[in-house]
Structure 1
Amino acid sequence: MDDVIIIGGSFAGLAAALQLGRARRKVTVLDTSLPRNRFAGHSHGLLGHDHKPPLDILAEARQQLARYPTIKLVNARADSISGAIDDFSVLTGDGESLAARRLILSYGVADQMPDIPGFAKGWGTSIVPCPYCDGFEVAGQHWGLVWSGPQSHNQVRLFHDWTDTLTVLTDGHEIPSDVRADLARRKIPVVDGRIAEIAQQGDHNAIVKLDTGSKVSVDILFAHPRNKPSASLHESLDLATVDTPLGIILKVDERRETSLPGIYAAGDLANPLMPSVTLASSHGATAGISAQQSMLV
């Protein structure tokens, strides 16, 4: 029996495995090698790894984990979970049954691409969600923001630290009159109409074509499509969740423990703030340490 099975081997899962391996706890990491940021050319904000391709960072992390004999990395999908604290069972897609005293869920979320021609193709390059991840590289340029709801008003204020040139595209959303007045006060153009297509030019530039027939060219387009957990294991476990403007996440306490004792969650699957490799790594380390300390006798 393992001490801990970690489901999801991206930044959060590997950070948890590192802490547990250094504590000489027996760990199995199940991963399907489909991290959320695999579409991005570079990852930013992670100390010591700034501006490196995210897949390169993960590959290096796996190599570093090889020095810990109690960590086992397995390329497999977790199909189901049963049991309770100190006696969990995980069935993999290969039909193997694994047992562990604790579980860490770090299988992340999947972004739901809207049915707009060119959107999926540009995701991670000309269309991005996070200014902390990509804003510095395009600071001072013309940004576009696809309005997604009330939270977009705060993003307008946030973006001011990176650029003074911003265009809002409503994409069919109703923007309240008081918010429109505030945007006008900030001298931010608002373009109405639904987005019909997005054409990419170069690494960042995007041409947004609207159903009104007009076009808007920007140097980078920020958008926040809804997302959903990459697996449904939490549903079968009936774990408590939290609704956010972009989708649901798992509810955790300060130790990253979910509503079911012995099961922890980390990474975008349980992060209400923003997608970030730094936060995912931090939360993963916290989950690993918490799981280890919960097994002390």
Structure 2
Amino acid sequence: MIHDVIVIGGSYAGMAASLQLLRARRSVLVIDAGQRRNRTASHSHGFLGQDGVDPAVIAHDARCQLEAYPTLTWVEGKAASVTGERDTFVVEAVGNQTYRSRRILFATGVTDHLPEIDGLAERWGKSVFHCPYCHGYELDQGRIGVIASGPMSTHQAELLAEWGTVTFFTNGVLPLAPAAQQALEQKGVTIEDTAIRALTGEVGVQLADGRTLSFAGLFVAPTVTPSTTLPAKLGCTIAEGPMGQMIAVDGAKETTVRGVYACGDVAQMPHSLSFAVGDGAMAGLQLHRSLVWPDMHG
């Protein structure tokens, strides 16, 4: 069987794209390894109609709704290779299962690369966050720590001053230019240059000089890369963005390889569940149009 579209990655963006295609009565095969980026978070915020809901519940309900459509095939697993060209793609999954399709959609999400600070990874998504719009309100205007990871961190600290009293930890990563320091100070941000030894307790920052500072929540801007190398191996251009790497796409969500599309966190910034769903819906619409009008370009 040749599917109309194989979607690699069945989280929010992939499912949103699939829904548009299924409602157009197109044959969709989703290959998903079950590794949602927000799997460590217990609540999702800022998504209209689902504010405060467990993101696992949102994902589960969405999949149940997709499975009501008879043209869906869902494969729990991981894609191992993608070969071919538009209308004749071949996807091999781990376990040597082979599938064919006219179009490919990468909705694989990204991998977060966090600063190497003892205790940070264990708290990621629980008391250490990256998006103030997703997690800032619940901190109740308390003390917020921002850990520098790169040039974008100063902007993150300035923005978070809207949600509480901010301490910015340069942590030896980001020497501040006078203009950047002045901008932070104008927002009431306290600058802490002492190196971080570890994160302790629920939201504690232990410094190299022995002090431990407590916060309502911590934020850090991770560097991201696509969660799979398959797009690059297929020839898709990987672009550098302000937070890391992403798959380059045009206005129709098509990559630099004809017939291959990408959406969600792996293809656009900034990142949130709302943005992923919207981007996925647009990708599904554009994929359907490419099947109806094969000569259409984005």
TM-score (norm 1): 0.94
Letter in 2 for 1:123: W
In 1, are the aligned partners of 2:7 and 2:28 still within 8 Å (CA)? yes
Bigger mean CA deviation after superposition, 180-189 or 94-103:
180-189
Query: 1:248 Cα shift?
Result: 0.3
Identify the residue that residue 294 of structure 1 maps to in structure 2. Answer: 290
Query: How far apart, CA to CA, are the structure 2 residues paired with 1:169 and 1:114?
Result: 12
Report the secondary structure of 1:143's partner residue: strand
Bigger mean CA deviation after superposition, 191-200 or 10-19:
191-200
Query: How far apart, CA to CA, are the structure 2 residues paired with 1:238 and 1:73?
Result: 26
In 2, are the aligned partners of 1:126 and 1:200 still within 8 Å (CA)? no
Query: How far apart, CA to CA, are the structure 1 residues paired with 2:115 and 2:184?
Result: 25
Identify the residue that residue 136 of structure 1 maps to in structure 2. Answer: 137
1:217 paired to 2:206: no
1:166 paired to 2:163: no
Query: 1:226 Cα shift?
Result: 1.6
Cα deviation, 1:37-88, whole Å, max 9, x if unaligned, reads 0000111111221111111111011111111000111101000111111111
Cα deviation, 1:143-172, whole Å, max 9, x if unaligned, reads 111122322222233223322x11101111
Query: 1:200 Cα shift?
Result: 3.0
1:266-285 equivalences in 2 (<5 Å): 266-273=263-270, 275-285=271-281
In 1, are the aligned partners of 2:153 and 2:220 still within 8 Å (CA)? no
1:197-208 equivalences in 2 (<5 Å): 197-201=198-202, 206-208=203-205
Query: How far apart, CA to CA, are the structure 2 residues paired with 1:43 and 1:241?
Result: 29
In 2, are the aligned partners of 1:265 and 1:287 still within 8 Å (CA)? yes
Distance 1:37 1:245, change over 3 A: same
Query: 1:139 Cα shift?
Result: 3.5
Identify the residue that residue 115 of structure 1 maps to in structure 2. Answer: 116
1:240 paired to 2:237: yes
Letter in 2 for 1:279: F
Query: How far apart, CA to CA, are the structure 1 residues paired with 2:33 and 2:195?
Result: 36
Query: 1:8 Cα shift?
Result: 0.1
Query: 1:228 Cα shift?
Result: 1.7
Bigger mean CA deviation after superposition, 27-36 or 177-186:
177-186
Identify the residue that residue 253 of structure 1 maps to in structure 2. Answer: 250
Identify the residue that residue 227 of structure 1 maps to in structure 2. Answer: 224
Query: How far apart, CA to CA, are the structure 1 residues paired with 2:90 and 2:69?
Result: 24
Query: How far apart, CA to CA, are the structure 2 residues paired with 1:133 and 1:45?
Result: 6
Structure 1 segments of 4+ aligned residues over 6 angstroms from their partners? none
Query: How far apart, CA to CA, are the structure 2 residues paired with 1:259 and 1:121?
Result: 37
Query: 1:244 Cα shift?
Result: 2.0
Query: How far apart, CA to CA, are the structure 1 residues paired with 2:158 and 2:94?
Result: 45
In 1, are the aligned partners of 2:153 and 2:221 still within 8 Å (CA)? no
Query: How far apart, CA to CA, are the structure 1 residues paired with 2:183 and 2:274?
Result: 33
Query: 1:212 Cα shift?
Result: 2.9
Cα deviation, 1:15-55, whole Å, max 9, x if unaligned, reads 01111000000000000001000000111111221111111
Report the secondary structure of 1:132's partner residue: helix
**Structure 1 residue runs without a partner (length 5+):** none
Distance 1:15 1:226, change over 3 A: same
Query: 1:272 Cα shift?
Result: 2.2
TM-score (norm 2): 0.94
Letter in 2 for 1:151: M
Letter in 1 for 2:120: F
**Structure 2 residue runs without a partner (length 5+):** 294-298
Bigger mean CA deviation after superposition, 23-32 or 148-157:
148-157
Identify the residue that residue 107 of structure 2 maps to in structure 1. Answer: 106
Cα deviation, 1:191-244, whole Å, max 9, x if unaligned, reads 11222100132xxxx111122322221110001122221111012012112212
Name the Cα RMSD after superposition.
1.3
